[in-house]
Structure 1
Amino acid sequence: MTLKGDRQTDFAYQAVYRYMINLINEVGTDARVKLPSLRQLSARLNVSISTVQYAYSLLEKEGRIYSVAKSGYYAWPIPTHPTGCTGGDLLERLYAGTRRPGMLVLSVDEPARQLSLDGPLLLLERELVRQYPRHLQPWSQPCGVWELRAALAARYTSSPTRCWQADDVYIGADLRGVLEILIEVLGLKGATVVVESPCDWSILRLLQESGVGIIELPYCHDSLDLTAFEQLLRNESVHLTLLSSRVSLPSGSVMSGGERLQVVRLLDQYGCWLLENDTEGELGFEQSVTALRDLANPERLMVFSTFEKVLGPEAPYGYLLSRYLSAELQRQFLLRAFRLSSIRQRALARLYQNGRVDQHLQALRRLLKEQASLMRPRLDEHLTDWVNYRMPVAGATFWLSSRQAVDMRQVFQHMLGHQVVIAPGELFSVSGLHQQHLRLSHTFDGQHNLDLALIELAQALKQAQVE
């Protein structure tokens, strides 16, 4: 099979994606099946390795496949009777549900789902290929090409004392790979980290798998318990605190200016490092909140993020900003040997330099706000007796809490039986928090009847009430 000439209106990664979907669906439903390597699939389909990597990244994000270090990619097994299966790992069951054909997937957080920069990015990449023939493209840039690192450094610089240089920026194949390096460099295995809660499950799972001790600090009505936070910093050997830059998602919590200053004062007082999560820092509907990094002590600060949340699946790279541990970070990036397309990185840099990313962000924020506004009356119509929520101020999801005590796993399983996937709140905790919450995406594609799904969700919440 070759992809050259096959559906020319599609991007190459989309054709690889469709091929892999068909390949996955052909395998046994309950068997762990190893998938072709990047190099094997590149040769089979006559596309670049980076194109295969983008398709695999999308499949992994959707929960259709998973990777095993030094082994390769595997397809998640689909349970033979998924609607009757209530045991096992909840996240695995969620991923299995997303793989079933015809599902309305409301569990995802994909802000750029309906408005990405894939088209302009690839057009610019084709122009750059003519300027930089393959034999002139350097591969020995393990931390990323200088142009993109410089563009990010400039974007994150806010003052002469809060400035970044290109050498402070490190770019990896995806966010997970970058965070794995950071955990290794900081020696976090066995160390204690305070993490805001709720927190993205991919970050929580990675910290757990790496042997990091997690202490969750939950948000309550947009506020962290600062008294509890100070007690943790005083009584525990806390190496660093992981907090969102502006808005904490999925809860949509936004600390007041005074509380943010208290947080950074406590971090400074106890000599604790801040690891800022900026993955959705630019997705606030109103960009009026000061980023924590612009308040915190720059001497104990690191920032991580990814292009994908804002730009789309053609930009899956993750990145880290750090002024310290440069020699060890460079060594670890060199050992990891991320083979990233230098042309694609240059294309991303051009999009930042020519203002296209800022234009895209303005349009994306408007679209997300409009979609949230369209979702709100539907929630009010169908779920007002069963859930509480606040209008989101950022991102692509709603964070709902049940008015009555319910078995949210039962709700999740009920909805799977009606071909709808939701994200139970307990996935966003490692200590059993948020069991009366769920996350719903408002970036639905219109191919399903959302009103019927919400009516069914109301029925599921009613049936799952506990005494």
Structure 2
Amino acid sequence: MTVTETAPAAPAGSAAVPAPPPSLAARVRSVGGSPVRDILAVTARPEVINFAGGLPAPELFDAEGIAAAYRDVLAEEPARALQYSTTEGEPTLRAALAARTSARGLATDADDVLVTTGSQQALSLLATALLEPGDTVLVERPCYLAALQAFGFAGARVVAVPGDEDGIDPGALEELVVRERPRLLYTVPTFSNPTGRTMPAARRAAVAEVAGRCGLWIVEDDPYGELRFEGERVPWIASYEGARDRTVLLGSFSKVMAPGLRLGWLRAPAALLRACAVAKQAADLHTPTVNQLAAARYLADRDLDAHVARVAAAYGTRRDAMLAGLADALPQGSRWTRPEGGMFLWVRLPDGYDTTALLPDVVRHDVAYVPGAPFHADEPDRATLRLCYVTQTPDEIAEGLRRLAEGLGQAVRPRA
């Protein structure tokens, strides 16, 4: 005989209490949001001079040229532009990207390139393709914030490699590879975010040699490399013999054309590129077709190199304006980098200063920076901060530094 029990009926006139929804995934609970995005939300007021965001100068966008590319594509091939595309990317754009890469010293075929929805997506795809939860990833110290997020979401254990003014120390890298058995090394060797530093050629060759001898993937992120306004170009790590078969090179149009296009790419060995394509199929099927075709049309009809040269020259002037005012804006004993290109410079205030704690006082003076602590995978240096010098004009930079001086002058001083 089977006995069926029923739940007690709810008292008359009362409603059943619903159960709470299931909890969020552990990876979401353990990986925080972007401090840069949080700061941008707080400082969105138009009166704020914002040195915090990594925002290209909008007045320097070739808006007319980009608009013309979209008009031509939609007029001449609307069905193709508005249709689904292949996951790997539009052939015309892949061929153009391969040609630009080859012209810069790294022989590349269209089949070596995967178009991504911004180079940030490339990081997520690589994390999916290369990392298991608990795997170790090596990074620079300090490191690009969104890379730390991507590796954190993959469940990786992130370890910072010691370095100096020239970047990663190859000897320390080899010691960590032997001890930690990492899956990959992530680096922004040219005009690094956040420091603005560039790894010299000899150091790149040494890093490539370690990777080749020890069996290590290198993810070389290069969103800023074309924005050089001083000095000579340094070859990609991917071009060195020891790293040719184990380096993924990431690129982006965000800093040289416009970030709203959300167009990036990765160049990788065939097996890894295929794995990333499968991961992309699951993520978004493909990057928007119309954006890809417009970018390809722009590359065919316009001189992107000439446009980039104009942008880089303007950024050089803005860097000079920031460098000229830093000594008066910062406490005595502060130190900062002098980048040869890119968008950022890195500041270290004297010992005892905490730039995270100081930020609210500074923002009250209608200026903002990014504290340096979140850029560290290990013990943070709380006296550091990042400044972006490209978004404002030289006059705005001078006024922003004046406000920064006031904000730091009235902020709580470091402990004795």
Q: Same fold (TM over 0.5)?
A: yes
Q: 2:112 aligns with which of 152, 168, 184?
A: 168
* SS of aligned partner of 1:255: coil
3-state SS of the aligned residue for 2:259? Answer: coil
SS at match of 1:276: strand
Distance 1:328 1:378 in 2: 48
2:405 pairs, out of 455, 462, 465, with 455
| C-alpha contact (below 8 Å) 2:74/2:81 kept by paired residues | no
Amino acid at match of 1:392: P
**Aligned residue-pair number:** 380
Equivalent residue, structure 2, for 1:252: 196
Q: Please tell me whether Structure 1 or Structure 2 has the larger radius of gyration of its CA atoms.
A: 2
List per-residue Cα deviations over 1:332-373 (Å, max 9, x = no partner).
Answer: 222323454423312212333445210111111111111111
- Relative to structure 1, the CA distance from residue 331 to residue 106 in structure 2 (aligned partners, 3 Å threshold; closer, same or farther) is same
Higher relative contact order (CA 8 A, sep 6+): 2
Query: Is 1:128 paired with 2:78?
Result: no
The alignment status of 1:312 with 2:246, answered yes or no, reads no
| Residues 424, 439 of structure 1: 8 Å contact kept | yes
Measured in 1, the distance between the counterparts of 2:88 and 2:160 equals 31
Match of 2:413 in 1: 464
User: Aligned-pair distance for 1:151?
Assistant: 0.8
Aligned counterpart for 2:346 among listed residues 391, 394, 399: 399
Q: 1:324 to 1:433 in 2, by over 3 A?
A: farther
CA distance in 2, matches of 1:257, 1:231: 21
**Which runs of structure 2 are paired with 1:17-96 in the superposition (5 Å)?**
93-96=38-41
* Counterpart pick for 1:214 among 144, 155, 158: 158
Contact persistence 1:386–1:458 (CA under 8 A) = no
1:227 partnered with 2:177: no
> TM-score w.r.t. structure 2 length?
0.83
Q: How many Å separate the matches in 2 of 1:374 and 1:283?
A: 17
Name 1:429's counterpart in structure 2.
Answer: 376
Question: What TM-score do you get using the length of structure 1 for normalisation?
Answer: 0.74
Q: Which of 60, 72, 79 is residue 115 of structure 1 equivalent to?
A: 60
The sequence identity of aligned pairs, in percent, is 24
Letter in 1 for 2:150: L
Q: 1:303 aligns with which of 228, 249, 253?
A: 249
Displacement of 1:150 in angstroms is 0.9
- Is contact 2:331-2:349 (8 Å) kept? no
Q: Distance in 1 between matches of 2:168 and 2:269?
A: 28
Residue among 224, 234, 237 paired with 2:181: 237
Q: How far does the alpha carbon of each residue in 1:256-296 deviate from its partner, in whole angstroms, 9 at most, with x for none?
A: 33222211111111011111111112222234212211115
Contact 2:225 2:342 in 1 (8 A): no
Amino acid in structure 2 at the alignment position of 1:248: S
**How far off is 1:386 after superposition?**
4.8
Moved more, 171-180 or 430-439: 171-180
Q: Which residue of 2 aligns with 1:261?
A: 205
Q: 2:236 matched to which residue of 1?
A: 291
Q: Report the secondary structure of 1:452's partner residue.
A: helix
Q: Is the 8 A contact 1:107 1:422 kept in 2?
A: yes
Question: Hey, what does 2:277 align to over in structure 1?
Answer: 330
Q: Is the 8 A contact 2:134 2:156 kept in 1?
A: yes
Tell me the distance in 1 between the aligned counterparts of 2:45 and 2:364: 11
Shift of 1:211: 0.8
For 1:339 and 1:214, how far apart are their aligned partners in 2? 29
Which of 305, 308, 330 is residue 358 of structure 1 equivalent to?
A: 305
Structure 1 residues 382-391 or 297-306, which shifts more?
Answer: 382-391
What's the counterpart of residue 18 of structure 2? none
| Letter paired with 2:102 | T
What are the ranges of 5 or more consecutive residues in structure 2 without an aligned counterpart?
A: 1-23, 26-32
Which of 267, 273, 294 is the aligned partner of 1:321? 267
Q: 1:254 to 1:179 in 2, by over 3 A?
A: closer
Contact 1:399 1:437 in 2 (8 A): yes
Q: 1:137: how far off?
A: 4.9
Q: What is the alpha-carbon distance in structure 1 between the residues aligned to residue 346 and residue 334 of structure 2?
A: 10
